[in-house]
Amino acid sequence: MNAEIKEAIRDEALRLGFDAVGFAPPRLAQEARAHLVEFLARGYHGDMGWLAARADERSDPQTLWPEARSVVVLGLNYAPEEDPLPALRRRERGVVSVYAQGRDYHDVIKARLKALAHWIDGRWPGALKLFVDTAPVMEKPLAAAAGLGWQGKHTNLVSRDFGSWLFLGEIYLALELPPDPAETDHCGACRRCLDVCPTAAFPAPYRLDARRCISYLTIEHKGHIDAELRPLIGNRIYGCDDCLAVCPWNKFARATPEPGFRPRTALAAPRLAELARLDDAGFRALFSGSPVKRIGRDRFLRNVLIAIGNSGDAALLPAAEARLDDASALVRAMAAWALQRLAAAPAAAAHRTARLAREENAAVRAEWHAGDKHGNRGLPTGGNHSYLQADEAEGS
């Protein structure tokens, strides 16, 4: 009987538009739990204190909800129509991660999870809970246990059918259902995701130091980004897709049919000069309904100005100059950094002298002094994009 319930739930989930459905027990493998302990102990989580704050619940679904007897893991394909990496060469434009170019995925997935939960409750009444990336749930190990894919060397989920392009959501059920077979690792000898990382954020395969990850730096990190990492960010202004995009399993993926995940015109390679002009109201209007909105205007402009500084394009100097008097010290600091990378030495020196005479914020002053010490630091490499061509992954 429970096997029939499980298949009925799977059929309904697919009817509602989910692309992948699996069932797992409400337990994590010891290896996954050990990885979390190591990740936190090494400080790889950086500013993300919320990862450590509820680590016990994160590492054990039944600690989070003792009534859980089964986990339904659901995936939505968000694969792009085109390879996102060529946009990195358009240095006058910013690159927003594929997942954030459309509607906020939390809203899309949650609506479908609620519809599925309502359908389940109407037929087999009982307690259940649903989650989308906002609760202490280790989604990727659960997805692997449910057979949706495996955690690749880049630590993200890889699917035979959807490559590295799956959003995940979960429904915890008090109803015990038979689990699906777990997926096994099919990365083989492939290192594409590790070797392409511009900031060397992977200390080893299957290990991520978020403190060096561009997605973490441009989204989660609230303060100033270390000067040594800024040139490596290139023109990535929100997130990074490099390690996902080079995965050879993506050749089996098809572009998402979900209208909400298709890129907005304004977010597909937007001009840096236009983004640098955004005030708070303009930022909120542009990113209404987008996950980008949550980082706020100041952090976003921090990212934009880093991209301007990395552009090597003197035509973007006015965009940096216009932000030197910004109300946000975070923005002013990156405007100073960008200007000193783009301007000729005499012009940079004149700005430096004038600004230091009246700038009171220590971090902004430090950026001006750093420019005086190091001078124009030349064009950045922007990371490694000589992608491997050999089919090294198992099954590729």
- Does 280 score more than 70 pLDDT? yes
Measured CA to CA, the distance from residue 191 to residue 183 in angstroms comes to: 20
| DSSP letter, residue 174 | S
Mean pLDDT of 267-277: 96
pLDDT at 30: 92
- Does 67 score more than 90 pLDDT? yes
Q: Which residues pair with 170 in a beta bridge?
A: 73, 131
Which band of pLDDT confidence, cut at 50, 70 and 90, is reported for residue 50? confident
Which band of pLDDT confidence, cut at 50, 70 and 90, is reported for residue 382? very low
Round the average pLDDT of the chain to a whole number and report it.
93
- Does 260 score more than 80 pLDDT? yes
DSSP state letters, 274-343: HHHT--HHHHHHHTTTSGGGGGHHHHHHHHHHHHHHHS--GGGHHHHHTTTT-S-HHHHHHHHHHHHHHS
pLDDT at 375: 58
- Does 202 score more than 70 pLDDT? yes
Mean pLDDT of 192-221: 98
Say which amino acid occupies 154.
Answer: H
- pLDDT, tens digit (0-9, with 9 covering 90-100), for 79-103: 999 999 999 999 999 999 999 999 9
Which band of pLDDT confidence, cut at 50, 70 and 90, is reported for residue 391? very low
Lowest mean pLDDT among 22-31, 247-256, 382-391: 382-391
Among candidate residues 19, 107, 133, 226, the one labeled active-site is 133
pLDDT at 374: 67
Angle formed by the axes of helices 329-342 and 362-374, nearest 10°: 10
Active site residue 133: yes
Which band of pLDDT confidence, cut at 50, 70 and 90, is reported for residue 393? very low
Measured CA to CA, the distance from residue 55 to residue 138 in angstroms comes to: 10
Q: Which domains does the chain have, with CATH numbers?
A: 2-83+104-173 (3.40.109), 192-374 (no CATH)
Which band of pLDDT confidence, cut at 50, 70 and 90, is reported for residue 224? very high
Measured CA to CA, the distance from residue 368 to residue 365 in angstroms comes to: 5
- Does 153 score more than 60 pLDDT? yes
Mean pLDDT of 199-204: 98
- pLDDT, tens digit (0-9, with 9 covering 90-100), for 314-365: 999 999 999 999 999 999 999 999 999 999 999 999 999 999 999 999 999 9
Q: What is the pTM of this model?
A: 0.92
Give the angle subtended at the CA of 243 by the CAs of 212 and 396, to the nearest 5°.
Answer: 150
| Closest among 318, 310, 309, 357 to 337, alpha carbons compared | 309
- Cβ-based burial of 24 (10 A; exposed 0-12, middle 13-18, buried ≥19): buried
Measured CA to CA, the distance from residue 82 to residue 85 in angstroms comes to: 9
- Does 187 score more than 90 pLDDT? yes
- Does 373 score more than 80 pLDDT? no
- φ and ψ at 72, to 5 degrees? -95, 120
Q: Say how many C-beta atoms besides its own lie within 10 A of residue 378's C-beta.
A: 9
Mean pLDDT of 362-387: 66
- pLDDT, tens digit (0-9, with 9 covering 90-100), for 103-125: 999 999 999 999 999 999 999 99
